[in-house]
């Protein structure tokens, strides 16, 4: 079994508790990853500059002796002693990464250089949380890892898209030049508890608007497609990728291949909440992809991984999270 190969990987320290650095660890994905790693018995150093991350996401971990939180921006060097690095630091929603596009690019490029330098010094394994945005507005559907993408290098999304593409370049150059142990995950649309209410992503947008009976904002005619992976499944994929043999560098697509139209998602959320919201159509933003669906054949074969949480079950948990924020008057 592939999973047995992962657990018995010779020469890799996967059979004991490790010291693990998670950059962007106070964010949506990062906080779930920190929690998973601490619960597995590892010591976790969480680094975040709190641009989009929040201490509230880490409430369950702050009293743990195996968890430490450090306020730091990875565009500046960081000196620590760890066994592994998960590099998740970077705003991932258009509202946040377009607010300061130069800083977004610096986080992907300078931040990766700093974390790769740290990994090189420590001889530590390092994983990059890359993105499906490296495929841009794709001409190939669904998108396999062999597809090079169709990205506008001077558009308003380029700070994130090209920043992540450059980060991938740096990871593979460090691999070729310094024989660094790297892993690259291309993360497709992920949702779940701890998403920011105001991050501009469709799941959080639609849920907040439906809960408050505001119009559901759809850009374009709603026929564009996305594929949504629940956060617990995504974190399992990241951990499994980190535990694979050194020869498997990636990139590996991690996402849910179940595709649906944005208009279908909006109607599903309205029905699940019982909302009185109506649909408000607005112009499609520049360079917004028309289709997005991962080919996860490589993840299935190499990681023995595939998402298991249904969209309905994942949305139920996510809606409950935002309902609690609404009751606590924290939907800001």
Check residue 332 and give its pLDDT: 59
* Tens digit of each residue's pLDDT (9 = 90 or more) over 167-203: 999 999 999 999 999 999 999 999 999 999 988 899 9
- Maximum distance among all Cα pairs of the chain, rounded to whole angstroms: 58
In 3D, which of 203, 317, 327 has the Cα closest to residue 268? 203
Structural domains of the chain, ranges and CATH numbers in brackets: 2-189+230-257+294-307 (3.40.50.720)
Residue 289, φ and ψ in degrees, nearest 5: -65, 140
Residue 2 has pLDDT above 90, yes or no: no
* Tens digit of each residue's pLDDT (9 = 90 or more) over 293-307: 999 999 999 999 999
Q: Which residues contact 128 (CB under 8 A, 6 or more apart)?
A: 87, 112, 167, 168, 171, 182, 183, 184, 185
Check residue 15 and give its pLDDT: 58
Q: Which residue has the higher pLDDT, 327 or 168?
A: 168
**51, 97, 135, 160: the active-site residue:** 160
* Tens digit of each residue's pLDDT (9 = 90 or more) over 8-45: 333 334 558 999 999 999 999 999 999 999 999 999 99
Average the pLDDT over 248-253 and give the result: 98
Where are the extended beta strands (E) located within the chain?
19-23, 43-48, 67-71, 84-87, 125-131, 182-187, 190-191, 216-219, 225-227, 229-230, 252-254, 259-261, 279-282
Q: What share of the chain is helix, strand, coil (3-state, %, to 5)?
A: 40, 15, 45
* Tens digit of each residue's pLDDT (9 = 90 or more) over 261-272: 999 999 999 999
Catalytic residue list contains 160: yes
Q: Is-contact 215 160, C-beta < 8 A?
A: no
């Amino acid at each position: 079994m592939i999973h047995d190969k992962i657990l018995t990987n010779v020469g890799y320290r996967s059979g004991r508790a490790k010291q693990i650095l998670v950059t962007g660890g106070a964010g949506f994905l990062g906080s779930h990853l920190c929690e998973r790693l601490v619960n597995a018995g590892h010591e976790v150093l969480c680094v975040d500059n709190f641009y989009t991350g929040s201490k509230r996401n880490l409430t369950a971990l702050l009293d743990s002796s195996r968890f430490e939180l450090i306020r730091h921006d990875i565009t500046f060097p960081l000196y620590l002693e760890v066994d592994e690095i998960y590099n998740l630091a970077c705003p991932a929603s258009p509202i946040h990464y377009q607010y300061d596009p130069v800083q977004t690019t610096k986080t992907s490029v300078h931040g990766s250089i700093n974390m790769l330098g740290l990994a090189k010094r420590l001889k530590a394994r390092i994983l990059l949380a890359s993105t499906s945005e490296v495929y841009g507005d794709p001409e190939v559907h669904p998108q396999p890892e062999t597809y090079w993408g169709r990205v506008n290098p001077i558009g308003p999304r380029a700070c994130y898209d090209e920043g992540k593409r450059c980060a991938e370049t740096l990871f593979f150059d460090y691999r070729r030049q310094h024989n660094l142990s790297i892993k690259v995950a291309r993360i497709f649309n992920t949702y779940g508890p701890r998403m920011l209410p105001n991050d501009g992503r469709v799941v959080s947008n639609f849920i907040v608007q439906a809960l408050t009976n505001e119009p559901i904002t759809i850009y374009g005619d709603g026929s564009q497609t996305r594929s949504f992976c629940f956060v617990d499944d995504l974190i399992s994929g990241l951990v499994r990728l980190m535990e694979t043999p050194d020869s498997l560098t990636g990139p590996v697509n991690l996402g849910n291949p179940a595709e649906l139209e944005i208009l279908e998602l909006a109607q599903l959320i309205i029905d699940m909440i019982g909302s009185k919201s109506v649909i408000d159509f607005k112009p499609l933003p520049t360079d917004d992809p028309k289709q997005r669906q991962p080919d996860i054949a490589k993840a299935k074969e190499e990681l023995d991984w595939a998402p298991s949480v249904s969209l309905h079950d994942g949305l139920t948990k996510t809606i409950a999270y935002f309902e609690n924020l609404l009751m606590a008057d924290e939907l800001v």
